[in-house]
Amino acid sequence: MRRIPAPVLFVVSGVTQYVGAGFAVGLFDVAPATSVAWARIFVAALVLVAWARPWRVRWDRRRLLAAITFGTVLAAMNVTFYASLEHLPLGTAVAIEFIGPVLVAALTGRGARERTAIALALVGVVLLAGVTLTSKSPDAALGLVLILAAAACWAGYILLGRRVSAQGTGLAPLAVGMAAGAIVFAPFTAAAAAPLVTDWAFLGALVAIALASSVVPYAIDQVVLRRLTASQFAILLAIWPATAVGVGAVVLRQVPSGWEIVGLVFVSVAIALTSRPASTVEVARSADPT
């Protein structure tokens, strides 16, 4: 996997994310969106713990605290994003949440190349997401608060993810972190998720969602975060909305609009600008901004 270019890994990650989202839509009628998000995290944590076997790693207080904090932020990112979808259109939510990676790129990026890529990626994602300034939901303000919280968590996920990926312990921190996140949010969301784990059909769908939307993409993130600076990683996340358009065109025959094609061009240029590998000094600075 080390030899695969980072943009290719991001495409794979984005495809699995949207395949998982397609499964998740069918579960929103069974349980609240936040409970679906929690159940996905819980099942993914079980899979990762069995796979990574974190008990074989020698944990000290610093490593354990970093993994727990990372996992809690990851869980909060998922729960708040799913909750926002009950109040905001998906396109609007996707574009607003991208503020998180853009802020990371703006604060950690250095040089005209990366700052230009930041601007291009932001414009491209806005065009791809089809942002609208109005909402039919009477409580859109709540949705805005939730998606801004998700954006902040996404920024934290990137910065904290670099720290835990640098520990050199493989997927063990991710497994411990997701387990911790599931425990933290269990009192608020677990009860309503009961129908998802008591029916074999729903449980099977939930396992597929967890694998596609959590295990695969977050495991890929841990690999990519060791190879890129935080700003490059944040900009390359723009591949996800672009991947969604591509999947929709091929699988669902949803022909992209003119503005979406322009958005794809912007994102493609941003990716090209950040395609150069990070130097050792850049990676060190991004991993420890203090």
Quickly state the pLDDT bin for 268 (edges 50, 70, 90): confident
Q: What is the pLDDT of residues 99-134, one digit of tens each?
A: 888 778 777 777 777 778 778 877 877 776 666 555
Q: Is the pLDDT of residue 194 over 80?
A: yes
At residue 262, the pLDDT reads 81
Q: Is the pLDDT of residue 284 over 60?
A: no
What does the pLDDT average to over 16-41?
Answer: 82
What does the pLDDT average to over 19-45?
Answer: 85
> pLDDT averaged over the chain?
79
Q: What is the pLDDT of residues 131-148, one digit of tens each?
A: 655 555 566 778 888 988
* Largest Cα span, the chain: 54
At residue 182, the pLDDT reads 95
Question: Lowest-confidence range among 70-74, 185-189, 244-248?
Answer: 244-248
Quickly state the pLDDT bin for 75 (edges 50, 70, 90): very high
| DSSP type of residue 215 | I
Quickly state the pLDDT bin for 282 (edges 50, 70, 90): very low
What does the pLDDT average to over 56-84?
Answer: 91
Quickly state the pLDDT bin for 277 (edges 50, 70, 90): very low
With 0-12 / 13-18 / 19 or more C-beta atoms within 10 angstroms meaning exposed / middle / buried, residue 141 is: exposed
Among candidates 220, 237, 225, which has minimal Cα distance to 271? 237
The residue behind tokens 């890929």 is 220
% of the chain surpassing 70 pLDDT: 79
For residues 242 and 128, the answer to whether their CB atoms sit within 8 Å is yes
In the chain, where the domains are located: 6-287
At residue 261, the pLDDT reads 77
At residue 68, the pLDDT reads 95
| DSSP type of residue 60 | -
Whole-angstrom distance, CA of residue 202 vs CA of residue 196? 5
What does the pLDDT average to over 65-87?
Answer: 91
At residue 245, the pLDDT reads 64
Q: What is the pLDDT of residues 5-14, one digit of tens each?
A: 777 887 788 7
What does the pLDDT average to over 152-169?
Answer: 87
Q: What is the pLDDT of residues 201-254, one digit of tens each?
A: 888 888 888 898 889 888 888 888 877 777 778 777 777 666 666 665 665 565
